Amino acid sequence: MQQVIREALARGADRAIHVQDDRLGAVDAWTVANALAGAMAGERFDLVLTGLQSDDQGLGQTGVSLAERLGIPHSTIIMDVEIGAGRIRVKRELEGGWFQWVSLPMPALLTIQSGINQLRYATLKGIMAAKKKDIRVLAWDGATEPLLRIERLAPPARTKRTQMLTGSAAEVAAELVRRLREEARAL
């Protein structure tokens, strides 16, 4: 994790806070947001960027919960960002291929859709400066009780089976059409 934080500092982040606690990997989004908000208390910032959703539970709630805890406006599924004087204009992805432009006052929090920008490589000057920047490491106090608890996990039950159709191309095609009509009712 230290390497990821150093890379962010090398690419232009002013400072870094690392909330370090193995228990945070197994709690819900609200609890993670509370831990981050506690670490950010007293910090001054213009913009908070989070990912849209994680690879583990994929709930997509940490960013919006953090914005709620910080009391700042937020917008989700961001595809483009334009920063102006004290305001930020963002392009949000909506369902069905639609987009929406929204203007927010700063400070604000944005949940960013993956792949919106080309990777910006750190300069040598940035890498050298990052080595001198402090990473404030904080432990989670564990005071927030998770709102979500996973009782058990189980793979989904198999309800369908793959069936191979054999015969000539004409026989297979006829059987496929029959099954689509009579069994799947797709035709």
- Domain borders along the chain are 2-138
DSSP conformation letters of 36-57: HHHHHTT---SEEEEES--SSS
User: Interhelix angle for 124-132 vs 2-10, to 10°?
Assistant: 120
pLDDT of residue 54: 72
Burial pattern 50-75, b for ≥16 Cβ within 10 A else e, equals bebbeeeeeebbbbbbbbebbebbbb
Q: Which of 6, 8, 34, 3 is nearest to 21 (CA)?
A: 34
Token reading at 185: 């009712």
pLDDT of residue 56: 65
| pLDDT tens, residue by residue, 46-67 | 899 888 877 666 778 899 999 9
DSSP conformation letters of 150-176: -----PPPP--------S-HHHHHHHH
- For residue 22, name the pLDDT band (cuts at 50, 70, 90): confident
Identify the architecture of domain 2-138 in CATH. Answer: 3-Layer(aba) Sandwich (3.40)
pLDDT at 15 > cutoff 70: yes
Cα–Cα dist 81/155, whole Å: 39
pLDDT of residue 28: 86
pLDDT of residue 88: 94
Q: Which whole number is the average pLDDT over 73-96?
A: 91
Token reading at 145: 């009780």
pTM > 0.85: no
- For residue 139, name the pLDDT band (cuts at 50, 70, 90): confident
**Using an 8 Å Cβ cutoff, are 73 and 105 in contact?**
yes
Q: Who's near 9: CB < 8 A, 6+ residues apart? A: 15, 16, 126, 129, 130, 133, 135
